[in-house]
Structure 1
Amino acid sequence: MTDMPLTVKRSIELLGIVLIGAVLVIGNDIIMPIIMAFFISILILPIFRKLVKIKFPEVAAIIVPILMLAVFLGLIIWFFSAQVGMLVQDFPDIKKNVGIHVKALQDWIGKISHISTNEQAKFIQEKSDDLLGMAGKAASGAAVTLSSIFVFVGLLPIYIYLMLFYKDILLRFIFMWFKADHHPKVKEAIYETEAIIKNYLVGLLIQVSYMTILLGGILLLIGIKHALLIGVIFAILNLIPYVGALIGNLIGVLLTLTSSTEIWPVVTVLGVIAAIQFLDNNILMPRIVGSKVKINALFAILGVIIGGSIAGVSGMFLSMPIIAVLKVIFDRTETFKQWGVLLGDERPTKSPMTFANFRKKQPVNTKAGVEKTKEKD
């Protein structure tokens, strides 16, 4: 490939991107469980190694961490189900509060426009009928979706077990793709990829825990109803970069509106969420994850959107670790180094249009690096 013209190389790269995207779209039901299992197997790999070190049988050393993970996820599902059950019990009050809010909204619209209350009620009824029709169509495909979820969950522990059991074969396969001279770089990339995935996933688990405790606990102390449910929903949705926090805010506002007839709880919920997000983004999460791989916001958002369009919610969750792994690989290959630069957030100190050295495939001074140097001085 080094003897090929540059235009041919770039054409092959772009064609490869298109082919990979097509394969992911066509085979996402098969590929996504495998990717998810790969990340989870990296997460539980330290436990497996410790059990093997203390002379545990290899099969048991694989099964034990899988069971521990299943119990942990079961506790999360139980907690979430209990909170939803409490919400269902308050349905009569919710219906009453929603009616009050709708009436207040209708009065406000009537004051600022010439639309009467009857016309608004007719419009709401028509849209409600449309929504019910859409819900009926969605329910017709619910059985297929539910069955695919069961298949996904059922295959996941099998894939995790087999990946850990045959990990040495997989590693040998990776090394055999490269020349012996490149093996040190491949080994370094494998170790860094493992560290990035492990730190990222452990960081997310810790983040969900403290976000639920902080947000739910503070709202509970203030007296907000369904505080723990708001906390756990926002903590889980916050795992989806950028988009999840917005959806979490909207759900928090809706849950607060349905449980109260006043506006101050909504303002309180938004204020507490904003404060905890600031604490999480600027202080807690950077120290917990501690990843050296930085992805710029543009491709983080694009990754979430593309992942969601390809594989739904699981694709949105997995987009960031996949991009981080790709960046590690790109940074260590001369052929694809420009793609690593594109994904990263290390901006050059000068424009490549005016400084020719910043157009080459070599380390350059970045704005973040200059700021760190100034701090040391």
Structure 2
Amino acid sequence: MEINSSLFRFTLRCILLSLIVLGMVLGKSFLVPLAWALLIGLASIGLVGKIEKITKWNRGVIILIYIVFILGIISLIGLFFFKQISKIFKNLPSISERISLRLQEISNTLGNLGIEIPNAINKDFLNNWVKGHGETILSFISELGLELWSLVLILCFLFFILYYRDIIPRFFQKNITNVNELKFINERFEKSLKLIRSYIFGLLLLTVVSAIMNYVVFLIFGLQFAVFFAVFLAILNLLPWVGNAIGLVVILFFALITQDSALVPLFIFIALFVVNFLQDNVFRPWLVGDKMKVNAFIVFLAIVVGGLIWGVSGMILFIPAAGIVKIILESNEKFRPYAILFSEMEKRLDPAEKRNKEENNDDQTLV
């Protein structure tokens, strides 16, 4: 009877999880803007609250000014990418010609070695392919951003989240009479807010540093559209492992077809490898640190599952969501063991360090 009961609960949880995933997929057009608004809103609550206390202005006016400020930044970023992509598309015929020449060189080299390529690709083929697939390329690029309607929804959701930010604390105060329990919930909520704020601001700083370092590398080796590719690679670097690999392949391919010497792409690869090493081992721990406190496998799983459910937005949003889930699991006595699955492996201490740690814990307990 107990086995049947456990099996029933397990089946029920699987069905519930499947329904949640199905709802997330079907409600993507609504839930993705809401999730972005929640992420930005939770990261902005502290800043908006401080401005409200200092200026004593009306809350709605402050939030409107803040949203206009965010909209201005998004517009500048969008204008930058629009101009850069337009320049790249204007140069597509010359770029396709360089691709054709490169392929012809490879074909001739292989032919001299006795390896015949039956169907050589000429420049007309590439030009026709670019013209015929221009809309496909543009639609793919647009998938990396947000549509206008989604942006409007995000800003609307953000306004209401910031304006009615006091409702949730008031709800808990009215429904939870136990002072200790209420204090515990407030601490967990503040911890989640601190996690999101520090994570977002750390990533923003890391993105700026990454873009500057990438630009210096591209400028040294004379890569065309250096500013665009520097920002492009820095933004893709927000996606651990996956984004950086994709950006690196695109940039090396572009360098290979636009540079006269094949050694230049090799030098760019070596320089970017050094830059990424510095970012991952120096700047990321300094700017972002262990704020997520989630192991690499969970981060990778969040990227894959987020990409399958919500696309590029999911790959970004599911990473801080994993950290919040870990906090929620740690706050519940029943589910606390599951939080271990999200944690990093503990460092092995030698006997002396272990004894000192236990003594410090004992001292803190006595205090």
Q: Tell me if TM exceeds 0.5.
A: yes
Q: CA 1:99–1:138 in structure 2 vs 1: closer, same or farther (change >3 Å)?
A: closer
Matched letter for residue 150 of structure 2: F
Matched letter for residue 320 of structure 1: I
Matched letter for residue 347 of structure 2: K
Matched letter for residue 170 of structure 2: R
2: CA distance between counterparts of 1:57 and 1:371?
59
Residue 367 of structure 1 is matched in structure 2 by 347
Given that 1:175 and 1:186 are in contact with CA atoms closer than 8 Å, whether structure 2 keeps it comes out as no
Shift of 1:255: 2.2
Residue 154 of structure 2 is matched in structure 1 by 156
Identity of aligned residues (%): 23
TM-score by length of 2: 0.82
2: CA distance between counterparts of 1:371 and 1:18?
47
Given that 1:199 and 1:290 are in contact with CA atoms closer than 8 Å, whether structure 2 keeps it comes out as no
1: CA distance between counterparts of 2:278 and 2:173?
42
1: CA distance between counterparts of 2:217 and 2:114?
40
Q: Show CA shifts across 1:234-255 (max 9, x none).
A: 0011111211011010111122
Q: Show CA shifts across 1:328-375 (max 9, x none).
A: 111111222233211222x2xxxxxxxxxxxxxxxxxx226669948x
Given that 1:237 and 1:245 are in contact with CA atoms closer than 8 Å, whether structure 2 keeps it comes out as yes
Residue 97 of structure 2 is matched in structure 1 by 96
Matched letter for residue 367 of structure 1: K
Equivalent positions of 1:4-19 (< 5 A) are: 10-19=10-19
Q: CA 1:42–1:257 in structure 2 vs 1: closer, same or farther (change >3 Å)?
A: same
Matched letter for residue 98 of structure 1: I
Unaligned ranges ≥5, structure 2: 358-367
Matched letter for residue 158 of structure 1: C
Shift of 1:311: 0.9
2: CA distance between counterparts of 1:59 and 1:275?
47
Unaligned ranges ≥5, structure 1: 348-365
Q: CA 1:156–1:113 in structure 2 vs 1: closer, same or farther (change >3 Å)?
A: farther
1: CA distance between counterparts of 2:351 and 2:177?
39
Shift of 1:314: 0.7
SS at match of 1:334: coil
Q: CA 1:63–1:125 in structure 2 vs 1: closer, same or farther (change >3 Å)?
A: same
* More displaced 10-residue stretch of structure 1: 39-48 or 29-38: 39-48
SS at match of 2:238: coil
Residue 167 of structure 1 is matched in structure 2 by 165
Matched letter for residue 162 of structure 2: L
Q: CA 1:227–1:100 in structure 2 vs 1: closer, same or farther (change >3 Å)?
A: same
Q: CA 1:111–1:331 in structure 2 vs 1: closer, same or farther (change >3 Å)?
A: farther
Matched letter for residue 164 of structure 2: Y
* More displaced 10-residue stretch of structure 1: 205-214 or 159-168: 205-214
Residue 231 of structure 2 is matched in structure 1 by 232
| Count of aligned pairs between the two proteins | 348
Q: Show CA shifts across 1:39-61 (max 9, x none).
A: 11122223211221121211112
**What is the root-mean-square deviation of aligned Cα atoms in Å?**
3.5
Shift of 1:173: 4.0
